[in-house]
Structure 1
Amino acid sequence: MERKVFVKLLGAGVLGMGLVPSAFAVDVFKRTNHKICEITWKKLCGKMASVYETDAFEYVKPTKRKPNVLIYGDSISIGYSSMVRKTLDGKATVIRLFKNGGSSRDFIPNMDKLQDTMFQPHLENGWDFKWDVIHFNVGLHDLKYLKGKNLNKKGKQVSSISEYKTNLDEICKYLKTEFPKAKLIFATTTPVPENAKGRFVGDSIKFNQAAIAVLENHPDIVINDIYAFTKPNLKTWGKEPGNVHYSALGSDKQGAEVSRIIAKYL
């Protein structure tokens, strides 16, 4: 039976049940196939779950009954994403980026890849929803110094302050254009501890000041000052001397704070 004939007969059938045929047809032919989405998501994430030993990259089934939240960020956000998901369980569907977000120059390509891989019409029967909240951060990978591919203070900084400001402004414009109905929340960059490899103490402050200067031109974007929240607890929450990452306690505390901020805009 040809599809047009089938739809016509289906419409007649649902009329008899008191349903709107067009709405019913949309549900039948355009609904999300979450099995396909889950398989695609796992391929997209690759080995990220095993590399970071976290459930932050597990597939989460979006639902129209709850707001959809995206967490975009570096490995710090990978650490707190699980707590955000746990804290907002029942209130929102929380999905974090499929990888470490990297520097500001990586943001738009990563977002495009997420959209092109997981969403309709790029993925047949893929995700078909709009982001309600996007919590994002870039900076920790911009301020680092590399020699080749290795962290090295004698190497070259990934982004200058000027480049970072330009990139962040483009990110803000991109998000507003592509996701005009989403509430945007920018998280400041967490502190760099003493003796960190390839990073200098104080650079987080410089890059956060640069970010705030950019965001003055985007007053509708909320600032989550996770730097100020973390700094007083750096010694208690840090993993070990010289490590920019945090213990389970630190990540959980950060996740609870990120959840508190996001919950205001659900």
Structure 2
Amino acid sequence: MNRRSFVKYLGATSIFIGATSCASINFFGNNYDEETSREAWKKLADKGEAFKYVNPNKKLPNILLYGDSISIGYTPTVRQGLVNKANVFRIYSNGQSSDRFIPKMKKLKETMFQPYLKGGWDFNWDVIHFNVGLHDLKYLKDGKLDIENGKQVSSIAVYKSNLDTICKYLQTEFPKAKLIFATTTAVPEEGADGRISRDSITYNTAALEVLANYPSIQINDLYAFTKPNAKDWHIKPHNVHYNTLGKKAQGKQVTKIITENL
């Protein structure tokens, strides 16, 4: 049995356990205050539909989406697909490069969760769907995208080291959560501002090398899912972002993978 089949089997066999234990694990204490939490989120989060406040239903499992602008695009579709099935949160801003992951996760915890926020959230994550890579492979000069004169944000070695640290952090901090890593979606064949097409393959290969050491972390291969439709789904040439059709298709795929792991 290959890794993908094994992880899929493992996720399926855990559905009944997760369903019976979810209500007892993820509960809100009597100190939870919606107004306090909503105000804290308003000050923390970026604007836009993907960042709207989610008032948790204590009877439902809690999902966290962590990723860059690609994940921002598919977040609303995931929420719609999991209505009455899960509380779907996302990181409060663009997740950006791999070195930002742990600081952003800590800021989320210290801003929104009890005991740091009196009246704040009081629950555990059931599923964390995460991605880093698209901001690691870009070239910058003076904060602007620039392939010719810029420097890549993270070398392959740094990216692998950061991702390894992220995996260790997630397994230590959230030992009961199902972890799902999404591969980085493709840079267009003709390239994009500040990015080279082949790098999405190179960085995904590096990511899978790291994740081979963490067999319990499932892979959502969004690269393979999206690539065949890239010409129809990219918003325009030389742009890594996706149109409405692409965002919805990616969101449905993410919803499918998460549902298999609830």
TM-score if structure 2 supplies the norm length?
A: 0.88
Please state if 1:210 is matched with 2:190. no
Q: Which secondary structure does the structure 1 equivalent of 2:96 belong to?
A: coil
Q: Which secondary structure does the structure 1 equivalent of 2:232 belong to?
A: helix
More RCO (CA 8 Å, sep 6+): 2
Cα shift at 1:146: 0.1
Please state if 1:92 is matched with 2:95. no
Number of equivalenced pairs: 234
Number of the residue aligned with 2:178: 183
Whether the aligned pair in 1 keeps the contact of 2:31 and 2:118 (CA below 8 Å) is no
Cα shift at 1:199: 0.3
Aligned residue among 170, 173, 188 for 2:168: 173
1:170-249 pair list within 5 angstroms = 170-193=165-188, 194-249=190-245
**What does the per-residue CA deviation read over 1:125-167, in whole Å, with 9 as the maximum and x for residues that have no partner?**
1000000000000000000000110000020000000000000
**What does the per-residue CA deviation read over 1:82-123, in whole Å, with 9 as the maximum and x for residues that have no partner?**
000000111000001100001000000000000000000000
- Cα distance in 1 between the residues matched to 2:77 and 2:191: 28
Number of the residue aligned with 1:110: 104
- Cα distance in 2 between the residues matched to 1:164 and 1:195: 21
Number of the residue aligned with 1:69: 63
Whether the aligned pair in 1 keeps the contact of 2:139 and 2:147 (CA below 8 Å) is yes
**What does the per-residue CA deviation read over 1:193-220, in whole Å, with 9 as the maximum and x for residues that have no partner?**
1230100011010000000000000000
Cα shift at 1:62: 1.1
Amino acid at match of 2:215: P
Query: Which of the pair has more CA radius of gyration?
Result: 1
Cα shift at 1:64: 1.9
**Structure 2, unpaired ranges of 5+:** 1-26
**What does the per-residue CA deviation read over 1:208-241, in whole Å, with 9 as the maximum and x for residues that have no partner?**
0000000000000000000000000000001000
Amino acid at match of 1:173: K
- Cα distance in 1 between the residues matched to 2:141 and 2:31: 48
**What does the per-residue CA deviation read over 1:183-202, in whole Å, with 9 as the maximum and x for residues that have no partner?**
00000000001230100011
Please state if 1:58 is matched with 2:58. no
Number of the residue aligned with 1:15: none
Amino acid at match of 1:166: S
Amino acid at match of 2:251: G
- Cα distance in 1 between the residues matched to 2:42 and 2:70: 21
Aligned residue among 110, 118, 130 for 1:124: 118
Q: Which secondary structure does the structure 2 equivalent of 1:61 belong to?
A: coil
Q: Pairwise CA RMSD of aligned residues?
A: 1.2
Amino acid at match of 2:250: Q
